Amino acid sequence: MVRLGQNFLADPNLLDAIVRDAGISPEDIVLEVGAGEGVLTERLAAVAAHVHAVEIDRGLEEVLVPVASRANVSLCWGDAMKLDFAALRPAPTAVVANLPYSVATPVLLRTIEQLPAVQTWTVMVQREIADRLRAGSGSRTYGSASVVAQAACEVELLRKVDPAVFRPRPRVDSAILRLRRTGPGADEATRGLIRAAFAHRRKSLARSLEHARPGGMEEVRAALAALGLPENARAETLSAEDFVALSAKLQADS
């Protein structure tokens, strides 16, 4: 059975490839969310300075604890959606994981926000999530998660993954995604702006934001015009850089 939405990687060649793709150095502190049976944890511990392995399923204790007994592995039992990533010591510099698909997107976005020292993410995700996070403006799949990720990172699809490498075999396609940090990303105000902008996709961005900040429609239109963007632009037409600039303009004018 699938434990808590997780499918376990069963192909040693792919596990080795993920570690190679991640380019982990002996100085790196790695965060792995969804350690599962520890097969990736073990490989990461062999090349990294330290590994923080997060797992919610205590039913895996018998197989995972022996792996986590290595001196450079810290095992954290708990829900990654509730874990304070910023409290991890030593602070992670890389994220490498076969992410549980049910929480892959929010976990990625939380680590981008809470772990400024992380420079790279090499993660297995559902193919649909990979396509969404790297979608360009104007794309049907482009949304708030795309913008928040791209405001901080370059997002690259490394490889598609055959369902046969998992146990049990999932009913969805998978992919390995790499993110490289390019900047600090969206602050709290900008993330709120992005969420509100995509809350009503069929409306113009200014009208969509009016629901979240009543009375500010003309201010938003003026800010868009000042940035050389159409006053009636929809959220999906703005790039991540446009959103960061718009948020900065609105905060400066308020």
- CATH number of the domain bearing residue 235: 1.10.8.100
Shared domain for 239 and 141, answered yes or no, is no
Shared domain for 223 and 172, answered yes or no, is no
pLDDT of residue 64: 94
Q: What is the distance between the alpha carbons of residues 147 and 120, in angstroms, rounded to a whole number?
A: 17
227 part of a folded domain: yes
Which regions of the chain are under pLDDT 70?
1-6
Shared domain for 192 and 177, answered yes or no, is no
2 part of a folded domain: no
pLDDT of residue 87: 96
1 part of a folded domain: no
pLDDT of residue 53: 98
Q: What is the distance between the alpha carbons of residues 50 and 44, in angstroms, rounded to a whole number?
A: 8
Shared domain for 48 and 121, answered yes or no, is yes
58 part of a folded domain: yes
pLDDT of residue 1: 34
- Burial label, 66 (beta-carbon count in 10 A; 0-12, 13-18, 19+): exposed
CATH number of the domain that 83 lies in? 3.40.50.150
Shared domain for 147 and 218, answered yes or no, is no
Domain residue limits at 206 = 188-253
**Where among 163, 181, 199 does a domain terminate?**
181
Q: What is the distance between the alpha carbons of residues 14 and 8, in angstroms, rounded to a whole number?
A: 12
Shared domain for 173 and 199, answered yes or no, is no
pLDDT of residue 3: 47
170 part of a folded domain: yes
